[in-house]
Amino acid sequence: MFYNRRFYKSGFLFMPKKMGFGAVLAIVFGSQIGSGIFVLPATLAPFGMYGVWGWGIAGAGAILLAFVFAELCSRFPKTGGPHVYVRHVFGRTAAFFTGWTYWLVSWTSTSVVIIAAVVGLSPFFPADLPSFFYLIFETVFLLVIAAINCRSVNLAGRVESFLALLKLIPFVIVPAILFCNFNSGNIAIAPQYSDFSFVKLVVIVTAESFWGFIGVECATAPAGAVENPSKTIPRAIIIGTCGVALVYFFNNLAVMGVIPENILAESKSPYADAVNTVLGKNLSMVISAVTFIIMAGTANAWTLASAQTSLGLAQNGLLPAFFAKKNKESAPYVSVLISTLGMIPILVLSQNHSLSEQINSIIGFSVEVFLMVYAVCCAAFIKINAGERKIAKTFLGITAFVFCIIMIANSSLQSVITAFALAAAGVFMTPFIKRKTSER
């Protein structure tokens, strides 16, 4: 038997080094900081200071959920993410539908990130470039992300650490520059919202802002590939989510303070416009490169989480066994390839302009699905701690659960129906799953 810091080897058993705190922290940052930081300042601009408070309240809700997932992961540090906790509390059926829904929406949402990443590079492309070439770039980018995750979980973690460092640098430097030109007079509520009640405005802006925190649970999925997951993952989730909340809050406030509300609300690239306003209009290439790096980090984090989710489902007999196949470096390459193949049709369909406009609806129902999963996990958290008569933790879980329900209730009926339909689609898998389980 031989042991060192890098490998453990005994007979024919070979285990590569697992991810440490830095890699898990990078996944927390990478899964949450994505397109939201670029587009939400324009969405929230008409709400004035309520838009700024929305980030604060949404961040507080995300931190509550971070504590919930940190506690659940500490109790059940197993690969798979949300369905693991639901299985221990509510049984196999609830676990299957939770895991199935979470897995399906994770790679569906990743396809939108892939599209946004390539579109962000448009300043580098000729203006008349046919959409077919965008499809080629998107497919190549997707395959590169898939290849990294098929190679090794540790490699995917190292890549995420590098990308997270690159993306945090501009989000510290840029707001510091923007605050030098800050004008509080630019932050004003638009006339159409001036008659709204305080509570209604707070709920609206919080729901809009929470889009940026989707992925708070992402780092729990690869628990089996993390060193000392019961301690490493909870610390990374809590510290990382607090950091994400600060990044969002200060960057959003800086952008809103540089561009007047009526102009910012009409901006298609508010972050880039704010930088151009202060530093001149010659930085579009730089902003495009930063956007691509951020999207790449998000796509990598979600590809990793999606593969680990289906791996965990297969290991628990809730998906066919071939999802659990891994290479010698413990990468679930079959799960990665299946989710990659599922994304390619979405990329193809998005080339049709009428269908590409539906990307926003994909994002809308995706948020609802994630909130549904979060609510179920909060219910599991409440049941565990109520049974153990831990009053403080039970109250924390109830608060997080109510937060999720309020966010869902504020959504469009179409998004909620689509989210439930996505979950219900798992019914067609249950006969096959039960048969495979009984055979085992």
Pairing state of beta strands 8-10 and 2-3?
antiparallel
pLDDT at residue 418 greater than cutoff 60: yes
**Average pLDDT over all residues of the chain:** 81
Let me know if residue 9 belongs to a domain.
no
pLDDT of residue 141: 92
CA distances from 375 to 16, 284, 361 (A): 35, 40, 21
Is pLDDT above 90 for 380? Answer: yes
| 2 within domain boundaries | no
Q: Please tell me the predicted confidence (pLDDT) of residue 198.
A: 84
Q: Would the pLDDT of 1 be above 50?
A: no
Residue entry with tokens 């923007």? 178
Q: Which residue has the higher pLDDT, 52 or 392?
A: 392
Number of structural domains in the chain: 1
- Residue 308 to residue 249: CA distance in whole angstroms: 31
pLDDT in tens, 4-42: 333 333 333 334 467 788 888 888 888 888 767 777 788
- Angstrom distance (rounded) from CA 333 to CA 150: 5
What pLDDT is recorded for position 123? 72
Does residue 102 lie in a domain region?
yes
Give the DSSP per-residue string, 284-322: HHHHHHHHHHHHHHHHHHHHHHHHHHHHHHHHTTSS-GG
Burial class (CB in 10 A: 0-12, 13-18, 19+), 218: buried
Is residue 114 within 8 A of residue 299, CB to CB? The reply is yes
Closest residue by Cα to residue 73 from 86, 85, 60: 85
- Calculate mean pLDDT across residues 282-300: 78
Condensed to tens digits (0 to 9), the pLDDT of residues 229-260 reads 888 989 999 999 999 889 888 888 898 989 88
In a domain, 352, yes or no: yes
Contacts of residue 184, Cβ cutoff 8 Å, sequence gap at least 6: 257
**What is residue 64's predicted lDDT score, i.e. its pLDDT?**
92
Residue 1 in domain? no
Of 358 and 399, the one with more pLDDT: 399
Are the beta carbons of 344 and 398 closer than 8 angstroms?
no
Separation between Cα atoms, residue 178 and residue 342, nearest integer Å: 41
Q: Which domain holds residue 362?
A: 18-431
Q: Is residue 26 part of a domain?
A: yes
Residue type, 90: F
Cα separation values, 44 from 50, 157, 214, 269, Å: 8, 33, 17, 13
Residue 379, pLDDT > 80, answer yes
Q: What is the pLDDT of residue 431?
A: 64
- For residue 171, give both structure tokens: 């989000």
Using the predicted structure, report yes or no on whether residue 283 has a pLDDT greater than 50: yes
Nearest to 101 by CA among 117, 81, 116: 81
Q: Examine residue 11 and state whether it is found in any structural domain, yes or no.
A: no
Written as one string, the DSSP assignment of 416-436 is: HHHHHHHHHGGGGGHHHHHHH
Residue with more model confidence, 433 or 270: 270
CATH for 411: 1.20.1740.10
pLDDT given at position 357: 54
pLDDT digit string (tens) for 90-122? 998 889 988 888 998 888 888 888 887 887 777
Residue 8 is assigned to a structural domain of this protein:
no
